[in-house]
Structure formats: structure tokens, C-alpha cells
């Protein structure tokens, strides 16, 4: 692989993150354009989805700019609300997925848009690398002075020899499979960068054919 510059990396990050909301907006816009006889309820429903996804796009752009800028907002975040937002976003793209949330009432301090981007990426991967309908469990818990956000799937799992590299930029276990699912091997390196900015870490435990658990560990504020 050629060595890419920081700005090339950033362009690749941006393209990766912008792709799924753009696909949703385009799909719904095409429905509106191609079907003249939609009921007012359907038009309302579809335009609402376009609006909601545009707002998500705006958040992602902000997150990417913050990453590029090395800038960082620190605000109080209710983690139960954050994971619920991520669930709703993932369901827009994968309505068949079964996503359960187990969340203690925990507040942290950080950049909500960036953390949503990170948890959302783990959730989307869990769905992408599972047979349909994906079964995902997101849990938020406190362990001593640390906060854990774990995303557990029952999907294809990751073989031991790949585990050390999956957080590297452009690393994909199966490039063809990954590309077919719209991936570029960038999601996890973005997650890693965001969590590092928050003074935390991401780890994975996985078994082939059984599934994976990605755990974000963040410092608690109390």
C-alpha cells in the first residue's frame, strides 16, 4: 500500500462517513422524483426521513471538521440518549436489525457528535458483518472509574490473526466483502482516533462464527 498523506487520509475518511447518509437521501429523493402519485402522508414521511438524514449528514461533517482541526468540544452527555440516537440512525439504514440497549444512567463529558460517530460506526459494523437480521446488544456500564460502552454482535467474528490490525487505516479482513458492503477499512481507525481524543481506548474480543464485542472504555467524570 502506498503511504498516504494526512490530507489524503482525511479525504478518505470523509468519503467513507458521508457515503451511507448520502445513499439514504438519494434513495428517498428518487422515490419522490419518480412517483407522482404518492399520498400526502407518504410525501410527508419521506421528506421527514430526508430531513432527518440531512441533519445527520450535517453532524458527520461537523465531526470530520473537528477531527481535521484537532478541535474538541467538551459538553455533558447522557450516554443513554447517545446510544438511543445511534440505534435510531442504524435502524434507518437497516430496519430489519434487532438492536437492544442496556444502559445505566451515566453522564460523561465529551463531544457528543464525535462519540455518536464512533458508537454509530461500531453498530453499523456489527450489522454489516452479521447474517440478517443482525442481533446487536449495546450496553453502557460503569466499572470502577471507567465507563464501558460495549457493542456485541452475533455475526461472522474475526480470526485471531487479524485482531491486531483491524484498527489500522485501510485494513479489511476481506477487502472484496468489505467493499461490497460499502466499507474501505476506515471506520475502526476513525473510532480509535475519536476515543483517543476522549482519553479512552477501544478493544475487541471476537470468535469466528460466533460474533464480536467491541468495547469503548472512557474515563468517568466523577
Question: Distance between CA atoms of 10 and 30, rounded to whole angstroms?
Answer: 29
Residue 18 near ligand ADP by CB under 6 A: no
- In the complex, the smallest distance separating the C-beta of residue 94 from ligand ADP, rounded to whole angstroms, is 13
Residue 129 near ligand ADP by CB under 6 A: yes
Beta bridge partners of 205: 213
- In the complex, the smallest distance separating the C-beta of residue 78 from ligand ADP, rounded to whole angstroms, is 25
Between 110 and 187, name the residue whose CB sits nearer to ligand ADP: 187
Q: Determine how β-strand 98-103 pairs with β-strand 135-143.
A: parallel
Stretch that binds ligand ADP, among 7-15, 46-54, 142-150, 178-186 (CB under 6 A): 178-186
Question: Distance between CA atoms of 77 and 157, rounded to whole angstroms?
Answer: 31
Query: CA dist 221 to 81, 149, 199, Å?
Result: 17, 15, 12
Q: Determine how β-strand 107-110 pairs with β-strand 135-143.
A: unpaired
Residues 156-175, one symbol each (x = binds ligand ADP by CB under 6 A, - = not), give xxx-------x----xxxx-
Residues of span 189-218 touching ligand ADP by CB under 6 A:
189, 212
Between 120 and 155, name the residue whose CB sits nearer to ligand ADP: 155
Query: CA dist 83 to 86, 101, 177, Å?
Result: 5, 8, 27
Which residues of the shown chain bind ligand ADP in the complex (CB under 6 A)?
125-126, 129, 153, 155-158, 166, 171-174, 178, 183-189, 212
Amino acid at each position: 500500500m502506498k503511504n498516504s498523506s494526512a490530507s489524503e487520509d482525511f479525504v478518505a475518511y470523509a468519503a467513507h462517513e458521508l457515503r451511507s447518509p448520502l445513499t439514504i437521501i438519494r434513495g428517498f429523493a428518487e422515490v419522490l422524483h419518480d412517483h407522482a402519485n404518492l399520498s400526502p402522508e407518504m410525501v410527508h414521511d419521506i421528506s421527514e426521513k430526508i430531513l432527518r438524514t440531512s441533519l445527520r449528514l450535517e453532524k458527520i461533517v461537523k465531526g470530520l471538521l473537528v477531527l481535521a482541526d484537532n478541535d474538541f468540544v467538551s459538553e455533558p452527555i447522557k450516554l443513554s440518549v447517545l446510544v438511543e440516537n445511534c440505534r435510531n440512525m442504524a435502524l434507518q439504514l437497516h430496519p430489519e436489525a434487532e438492536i437492544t440497549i442496556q444502559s445505566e444512567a451515566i453522564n460523561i463529558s465529551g463531544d457528543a457528535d464525535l462519540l455518536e460517530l464512533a458508537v454509530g460506526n461500531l453498530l453499523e459494523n456489527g450489522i454489516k458483518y452479521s447474517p440478517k437480521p443482525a442481533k446487536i446488544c449495546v450496553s453502557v456500564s460503569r466499572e470502577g472509574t471507567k465507563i464501558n460502552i460495549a457493542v456485541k454482535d452475533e455475526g461472522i467474528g474475526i480470526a485471531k490473526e487479524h485482531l491486531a490490525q483491524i484498527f489500522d487505516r485501510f485494513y479489511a479482513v476481506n477487502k472484496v466483502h468489505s467493499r461490497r458492503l460499502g466499507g474501505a477499512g476506515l471506520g475502526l481507525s476513525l473510532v480509535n482516533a475519536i476515543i483517543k481524543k476522549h482519553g479512552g481506548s477501544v478493544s475487541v474480543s471476537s470468535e469466528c462464527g460466533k460474533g464480536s464485542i467491541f468495547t469503548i472504555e472512557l474515563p468517568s467524570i466523577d
